[in-house]
Amino acid sequence: MSAPELDLDSILEYTVALARTAGDLILEGSEAIQSATASKDVNEKKNSVDLVTQYDTDVEELVKKDLAAKYPTFKFIGEESYSAGSRPPLTDEPTFCVDPIDGTTNFVHWLSLRVHILGLIYKRRPVLGVIFQSYTGQTAKPLKLPLASPPKPLGSLSQALIAVEWGSDRGEKTITSKSSSFGPQNVQGGKMAHSLRSVGSAALNFALVAQGGLDLYWEVGCWPWDVCAGVVIAQGAGGVVTGSHDAFAASSGTAEFGEVTEEILTGRKYIVVRAIGGSEGETGLEAQKRIIQEFYSTVEDVDAN
Ligand code: IPD
């Protein structure tokens, strides 16, 4: 989405540099958290699998302070501030939307599939996104996404590599319906797919769909800070993002389809499909809708808790 009143190029440059600083602290934390004495730094939020570490809090504090100094009029929503009770309503004002460490469980297990997320929402729509994965000694060369140009076709869900996540809601209803959705093809409505992946970070899933390595990612239960940046990056790479079964049904026949409205951004149900090359008789967008339709007719809708 364009936001001509904001200098998005300079905000992007600034936030990328800030994400690198946050990435250094995450790297330092991932070493420190492995020491025996640091295990006391891992705490639980709503249950024993919803983890937060001292580094989630420290990284968010660092980024929040820095952004407040540089952009004093912008608002701020962050995962850890939200958990601590700071829950400003979404307004039309520019609002940074930050997850200090997405993939906290991976972080705790010293699995490097964890990222820093810095998004910007303006007029209630995601407009800018940075997803930063830090590695020791990493030098990254910028690549244009999707990696395949033109984008690859996708004939049907049966050829798709799909990302799903277990999330932190382990209630019986949620796990039962997710399990049956991820289950065998011979259950009622079941379908084949190449395979399922769960990398443990919503933002990484979005980035991998933007890249084209994953064809689709679906999750119920994550939050705006998990997806805000990924939405912008996936859309910029030709991907399409929408919300729940109902949101898809209501918008797929309209010109607004693919717009991540406030309802979708805050609705905690997300599906993203990569750029698909058009073919004779079908545009890329039609193919993306066909894949979502096929996927949503296969999985159960479930409430986000
Ligand atoms: C979580 C990760 C995970 C997803 C959860 C998120 P966090 O974020 O993105 O993959 O399944 O829904 O809450 O807690 O690691 O920042």
The chain-wide mean pLDDT, for the chain, equals 92
* Among 121, 226, 264, 292, the one annotated catalytic: 226
Q: Phi-psi category of 136—alpha, beta or left, where left has phi over 0 and alpha has psi -120 to 50?
A: beta
pLDDT tens track for 186-220: 667 778 899 999 999 999 999 999 999 999 999 99
* Residue bearing the CA closest to ligand 1, atom 11: 167
Best residue among 43, 98, 107, 226 to mutate for probing ligand 1's pocket (most ligand atoms within 8 Å of CB) is 226
Query: What distance in angstroms lies between residue 167's CA and the mean position of ligand 1's atoms?
Result: 6
Query: What distance in angstroms lies between residue 47's CA and the mean position of ligand 1's atoms?
Result: 13
Domains defined along the chain, listed by start: 4-140 (3.30.540.10), 157-296 (3.40.190.80)
Mean pLDDT of 269-275: 98
* Residue bearing the CA closest to ligand 1, atom 13: 222
* Residue bearing the CA closest to ligand 1, atom 12: 222
Phi, psi of 127 (to 5 degrees): -125, -15
Look at residue 56 and tell me whether its pLDDT is greater than 90.
Answer: yes
* Residue bearing the CA closest to ligand 1, atom 6: 222
Mean pLDDT of 82-106: 95
- Which residues have CB under 6 Å of ligand 1? 79, 99, 102-104, 165, 167, 200-202, 219, 221-222, 226
pLDDT bucket at 138, cuts 50 / 70 / 90: low
Q: What is the DSSP letter of 157?
A: G
Going across the sheet that includes 240-242, the strands are: 195-197, 161-164, 216-220, 269-273, 240-242
Residue 104 annotated in active site: yes
Mean pLDDT of 58-82: 97
Residue 44 annotated in ligand binding: no
Q: What is the pLDDT of residue 35?
A: 73
Atom of ligand 1 nearest to the CA of 114: 15
Look at residue 180 and tell me whether its pLDDT is greater than 90.
Answer: no
Residue 226 annotated in active site: yes
Q: What is the pLDDT of residue 305?
A: 87
* Residue bearing the CA closest to ligand 1, atom 4: 167
Residue 102 annotated in active site: yes
* Among 79, 165, 169, 215, the one annotated catalytic: 79
| Exposed/middle/buried for residue 36 (C-beta within 10 Å: 0-12, 13-18, 19+) | exposed
Query: What distance in angstroms lies between residue 202's CA and the mean position of ligand 1's atoms?
Result: 6
Residue 11 annotated in active site: no
Atom of ligand 1 nearest to the CA of 199: 10
- Minimal CA–CA distance to 54: which of 76, 34, 29? 29
Query: What distance in angstroms lies between residue 131's CA and the mean position of ligand 1's atoms?
Result: 14
pLDDT bucket at 3, cuts 50 / 70 / 90: confident
Q: Tokens at residue 24, please?
A: 């250094």
Residue 222 or 190, more confident: 222
Atom of ligand 1 nearest to the CA of 205: 10
Q: Tokens at residue 287, please?
A: 């193919």
